[in-house]
Amino acid sequence: MRLKLAGLALAVAAVGLCAPQSAAALKCRGYHYDTGGQPAAGKPNDPLFPRQWGLRQIHAPASWKYGTGKGVPIAIVDSGVDLFHPDLKGKIVRGTDLVKGGGSCAGPQDENGHGTHVAGIAAAKTNNGIGVAGTAPGAKIMPVRVLAADGTGDVSTAVAGIRWAANHGAKVINLSLGDTPLDQTNGTAASTERAVAYAWSKGAVIVAAAGNDVFPVCDSPAAARYAVCVAATDQRGLPAAYSNLPNDPNGGAIGLRAPGGDGGGILFCGYDGDIWSTIWPGDTVDNCGGISGYDTLVGTSMSAPFVSGTAALLAAKGLTNGQILQCLKTTSSNHGSFDPVFGYGIVDALAANRTCSRTTTLVYSPATGSTSPPPKTHRHKHHVRVSVRKTSREQLERTGKLHVTVRSDRKVTIELRALVKRGGKSVTGAKATVTLRRAGKRGKTLELSKKARKQLAKRGPVSVVVRYRAGSTSGTASPGN
């Protein structure tokens, strides 16, 4: 069984535009694997950033103040990665070449260009004054080469690549490749399904391209039970005409949408309606409209790494793969609801990065005087709000009662825990569970323990912290579980 790329890049070569150079043109150069150091993330000064509409569609730039995915390895299981690209320099951790073994350059050097483009979308250096920005600027790139220079490969090689990435610490595995749903019906995708399940068991999030065949279901491996199937949107946020729908015929995969372009770049290189990213220099033709080392490609191959980058933002916070999938579902544009055209919606990096964490903490700190600041309200994943009623420190010391209100637009269970903190130490003051069986609000009074109230009675700064975990009974996210 042969795999294909899930981008439309091969169509470009087929019509004779921007065709890649021969693999023989590649000159081996020494390179080192990265062992540390992170790119700076801020307001991007990358020259091509204004043309990267895909990042803005998923609100990635606004999300970086909540984290950049620092240190999270994203495995790019693909045609390899250009190990010497200036916008990927210092980003690459040890990978493998399963096509040539060690390869003539002793590493998974890209000889096609596809994997390099995918890697740049996921995690290109950002705010470094050159080229493009990546979805997760602080993440690392683990190149796993499973596709040959012509962009094809065997399912068995891809399976080995998935397992290799899982065994070597990849937190996110990007699969911008696949075979068609017709191949799935005769059981040929069973080994891929097992490999994806294995990677999941090792703690990885597996993100795969839906495919570009206008099928109503995801290709394999995107249809695997533990995969995230990513279909494409165009610049307007509408479903791309070429994209498969983000549906799994077996009901296992999670379907999302992300930017993939509208396809104009098949005829025009450097077409801004498609997706700008890094390119292996052998795949760049300057007089075709590209900029040396960068160009546009189109397809669900380009959509998947936007989601992989977003998953890396969450993995850096310590979320498990299960928590990351729940977060992606509930923070995407459909807010936890599924429809057959958009799946759970367009991924939203800002909503995910801002609202999902292992334990969301709500703090109000009584001043050293007699009054506390206004109550804090925290919105969790667009559907839960938790607030603490304003009260004076003396009143809290006297009554020991904290009045908490939980509001939700759906069924949810919230675990509350009140802590009194002083001098770096904390005392558990109260625990409670609040369940809303339908949309609405419910109040809960937390009664602080005597030990906690004694801390309030002492002179000096003190703070009261209300931590909560949302364990939804209707399938919404469960941070901290």
Q: Does residue 324 lie within any of the structural domains?
A: yes
The pLDDT of residue 3 is 62
Q: Which amino acid is at 429?
A: G
Report which listed range, 140-154, 256-270, 326-340, is most confident. 140-154
Ramachandran region, residue 80 (left: φ > 0; alpha: ψ -120 to 50; beta: rest): left
305 and 449 share one domain: no
Cα separation, 277 vs 177, in Å, equals 18
88 and 115 share one domain: yes
Supply the angle between the helices 155-167 and 190-201 in degrees, to the nearest 10: 10
Contact 257, 346 (CB under 8 A): yes
Place of tokens 């938790």: 386
Q: Does residue 475 lie within any of the structural domains?
A: no
Question: Domain boundary residue among 337, 355, 373?
Answer: 355
SS3 233: strand
Report which listed range, 128-137, 450-459, 472-481, is most confident. 128-137
**pLDDT of residue 223 exceeding 60:** yes
The pLDDT of residue 478 is 21
The pLDDT of residue 453 is 80
Vertex 308: Cα angle to 256 and 268 (nearest 5):
80
Cis preceding linkage at 221, omega within 30? yes
Tell me the mean pLDDT in the region 259-281.
84
More confident residue, 127 or 424: 127
Q: Does residue 478 lie within any of the structural domains?
A: no
User: pLDDT-derived band of residue 180, with 50, 70 and 90 as boundaries?
Assistant: low
Task: List the CATH number of the domain containing 145.
Answer: 3.40.50.200
| Beta-bridge partner residues of 256 | 230
Place of tokens 């109503």: 216
**pLDDT of residue 368 exceeding 70:** no
The pLDDT of residue 110 is 94
User: pLDDT-derived band of residue 10, with 50, 70 and 90 as boundaries?
Assistant: very low
Question: Domain boundary residue among 338, 355, 372?
Answer: 355
Q: Does residue 426 lie within any of the structural domains?
A: yes
User: pLDDT-derived band of residue 414, with 50, 70 and 90 as boundaries?
Assistant: confident
Task: List the CATH number of the domain containing 400.
Answer: 2.60.210
User: pLDDT-derived band of residue 43, with 50, 70 and 90 as boundaries?
Assistant: confident
Q: List C-alpha distances in Å: 474 to 90, 330, 470.
A: 43, 11, 11
User: pLDDT-derived band of residue 448, with 50, 70 and 90 as boundaries?
Assistant: confident
Question: Domain boundary residue among 355, 390, 412?
Answer: 355
Q: Per-residue DSSP letters for 308-333?
A: HHHHHHHHTTT--HHHHHHHHHHHST
**pLDDT of residue 106 exceeding 80:** no
End-to-end CA distance of the chain: 40
The pLDDT of residue 433 is 81
The least confident of 311-315, 327-331, 332-336, 467-471 is 467-471
407 and 423 share one domain: yes
Instruction: Tell me which H or E stretch contains 167.
Output: helix 155-167
User: pLDDT-derived band of residue 6, with 50, 70 and 90 as boundaries?
Assistant: low
| Beta-bridge partner residues of 436 | 412
Quick check: is 403 catalytic? no
Mean pLDDT of the chain: 79
Strand order in the sheet with 73-78: 96-97, 140-145, 73-78, 172-175, 205-209, 227-233, 254-259
Query: How is the chain split among helix, strand and coil, in percent rounded to 5?
Result: 25, 25, 50
Q: Does residue 480 lie within any of the structural domains?
A: no
**pLDDT of residue 1 exceeding 60:** no
151 and 293 share one domain: yes
Q: Are strands 153-154 and 2-5 parallel, antiparallel or unpaired?
A: antiparallel
Report which listed range, 70-74, 272-276, 380-384, is most confident. 70-74
381 and 251 share one domain: no
146 and 42 share one domain: yes
364 and 350 share one domain: no
Nearest CA among 477, 452, 440 for reference residue 402? 452
388 and 346 share one domain: no
Q: Per residue in 455-464, pLDDT tens?
A: 777 766 777 7
351 and 438 share one domain: no
Contact 248, 239 (CB under 8 A): no
Vertex 225: Cα angle to 209 and 234 (nearest 5):
25
What is the span of the domain harbouring residue 457?
A: 360-470
The least confident of 66-75, 184-193, 251-260 is 184-193
Contact 131, 48 (CB under 8 A): yes
Tell me the mean pLDDT in the region 73-100.
96
CA 406 from chain centre, in angstroms, equals 29
367 and 350 share one domain: no
Tokens of 376: 């804090």
Contact 441, 405 (CB under 8 A): yes
Q: Does residue 109 lie within any of the structural domains?
A: yes
The pLDDT of residue 70 is 96
226 and 213 share one domain: yes
Q: Does residue 458 lie within any of the structural domains?
A: yes
Burial of 223 by CB count in 10 Å (0-12 exposed, 13-18 middle, 19+ buried)?
buried
**pLDDT of residue 12 exceeding 50:** no
Nearest CA among 467, 459, 466, 465 for reference residue 394? 459
Domain count, the chain: 2
Per-residue DSSP letter, 221: T
Per-residue DSSP letter, 465: E
The least confident of 36-45, 75-84, 120-129, 402-411 is 36-45
Catalytic one of 46, 59, 63, 78: 78
The pLDDT of residue 417 is 81
Tokens of 480: 């901290």
More confident residue, 392 or 162: 162
Neighbouring C-alpha atoms within 13 Å toward the C-beta of 49 = 20
Q: Does residue 308 lie within any of the structural domains?
A: yes
34 and 182 share one domain: yes
| Beta-bridge partner residues of 385 | 379, 407
The pLDDT of residue 265 is 64
Q: Are strands 96-97 and 140-145 parallel, antiparallel or unpaired?
A: parallel
Catalytic one of 301, 303, 357, 478: 301
Cα separation, 157 vs 80, in Å, equals 13
SS3 216: coil
Quick check: is 301 catalytic? yes
Contact 280, 23 (CB under 8 A): no
**pLDDT of residue 271 exceeding 60:** yes
Quick check: is 219 catalytic? no
Nearest CA among 123, 128, 191 for reference residue 163? 191
Catalytic one of 82, 87, 110, 114: 114
